[in-house]
Structure formats: C-alpha cells, structure tokens
Amino acid sequence: MIMDLKYILRRYTFAGEIKGIIPKINLIIDETKSILFNMPSGNRRIIWQGPKGDLAINYYDSIGCFRAEIVDLHMLDVELKNKENPLILDLGANQGFATLWFKYNYPGAIIHAYEPVPKSAGTIIENVIDNEYQDITIHIEGISDKAGQMNIYKPIGGAGLGDSICPPEDHQERYETEKIKLINLDPVLKKTKKIDLLKIDVEGGEYPVLKNCSFWKKADKIIIEFHDNFKKEMGYDGIDFIKLIKKAGFKMDKKVGEGAVYVYYFSKQ
C-alpha cells in the first residue's frame, strides 16, 4: 500500500511540472477520475517542462504513468553506446510516450514506432508533429511471428493500456474488438545489421516473437515487459524466456518496477 501511495503521489506531482493553470487543474481532475473511477480523460495536450527543455505531449487518457514510470522510476532509461544516431524500435508504442522519451534523450535517434491501433498511432503522429521531431516513422501495425490480420481486445476506456491479441477470460462485456494488421519484422529488417535499442511492450505478443523470430537478436539493448497472464493462454507456459534471451548472447542487467509493472533489461554480451 505504501508503494501504491508513492505511485499515486508521483502522478499528481506531475501537475507542478506542466505549463498553464488550466492544464494543471485538468490533470489533477483527470488523475482523480482515473485512479478512483477508471475513467479516461478525453483528448488532452500538455507542455511538460523537463530538465532538457519543453516537451509537448498529446494523450487521451491518464498521463500520470509518464511521470511515475518513465520520469521518476526511470523505467525507459538506458545508456546506449551509439549516442549520435541510434536505431531504436518501439514495439507496442501505444500513444508514443516511450518514443517521445527516447527522442528527448537521444535527439539524433532514428526511431520506428509500431502501434496497430489507429487511434493510438494518430496520437503518436500528433506528438511527433507538435515537437517538430525528425527521423521518426510510425507504422500502424502490430508485431508477431506471422503476417496477417487479427482481432485485438481493448478494455473499454483503457486508452490502449492492456490492448491484447489474447481474448479476455472473463468480463468480455468490458472489452471491444478491433481488427488490426500484424507483420513479421524478420523480412523487414533482413538487411539491418544492428538495432541499438529494442523496446517491446506488446501485451502477450512478445512470446511468439521471441520464440519464432530472429530480428530481436540484432539488438544491442532490449527493454521488455513480460505479460505472464497471457503466457499460458498463448501456449508458451513451458518456456523460460529469460533463458531463451540469454542463450541468444544477452545478459540481464536489471529488473525494475512496482506493483503490477515490471520491466526487464538485457544487453548483448
């Protein structure tokens, strides 16, 4: 409970770091609605006054996770060998918070953001345009081991958080479905020799990708969020994916998180 309280306080603290009185008030109201009633905020735009300059952020639900998880808990911080123009892949980009953070910290980065839900991908596009960022390509596609189309299950009012190709076990009335496009990145990245940073947060889709694809082995650094609640449903319950990644020549640097969110960090040995 203490850790949960800290997490909530971090989300509210964010109001003091954005420009304008009205955006501050809206953020406090939105976070309260999100925490107490799981209600989305609607479309919002704020200017965050960060340590390296201002950052425009568009979103359509809670923004608190940006402050709590990305800024405060440093869950996307990683030291890259190539600091000038690293190639970064953001798989499961959602509304683009990770993409923004990577570009904010590595201005010369070449980023490919993959997000299959058009509404979320549209928000990434808005964020890229508002910050006048270059060398960011948004792909309205999901990542899997097989190309094709599939239904994605989206929690109603969830703003892309928790969207998954795995059907819900219960309370199906709380979800809506949308047809999305899936691709296999192996042929796309066939000529790519090195990926400086690979971030994977694809709500269960990480398992077929790690098991049956090879492009991820080209990464120098990997940040991945595992979703154990989907592992059995997808038929991968008997596989130790930490060992699988290590066997490919990676070492696990750390595991970071609080509550239900844990992120694993790997680097090429």
Cite the beta strand spans of the chain per DSSP E. 44-50, 53-59, 87-91, 110-114, 136-139, 142-143, 148-155, 175-183, 195-200, 219-225, 250-258, 261-268
Residue with tokens 């960060």: 50
Q: Rounded mean pLDDT of the chain?
A: 88
At 173 the pLDDT is: 62
The conformation of residue 122, written as its DSSP 8-state character, comes to H
- Name which of 68, 127, 135, 134 is nearest 93 in CA terms: 127
Share of the chain above pLDDT 70, in %: 88
At 100 the pLDDT is: 97
Q: Six-digit token pair at 73?
A: 């808990």
Residue with tokens 């690979």: 198
At 22 the pLDDT is: 94
Contact (Cβ atoms closer than 8 angstroms) between residue 61 and residue 161: yes
Domain spans in the chain, listed from the N-terminal domain onward: 1-73, 76-268
Q: Six-digit token pair at 184?
A: 């296999």
Q: Six-digit token pair at 140?
A: 């309205």
Residue with tokens 């990683």: 78
pTM score above 0.75: yes
What CATH superfamily is the domain 76-268?
Answer: Vaccinia Virus protein VP39 (3.40.50.150)
At 130 the pLDDT is: 98
Residues 100-142 pLDDT 10s: 999 999 999 999 999 999 999 999 999 999 999 999 999 999 9
Residue 165 has pLDDT above 70, yes or no: no
Phi, psi dihedrals of residue 69, rounded to the nearest 5°:
-90, -45
Distance of alpha carbon 78 from alpha carbon 56, whole angstroms: 22
What 3-state DSSP class applies to 71? helix
Contact (Cβ atoms closer than 8 angstroms) between residue 227 and residue 263: no
Task: Taking residues 240-251, report their average pLDDT.
Answer: 96
Distance of alpha carbon 123 from alpha carbon 138, whole angstroms: 10
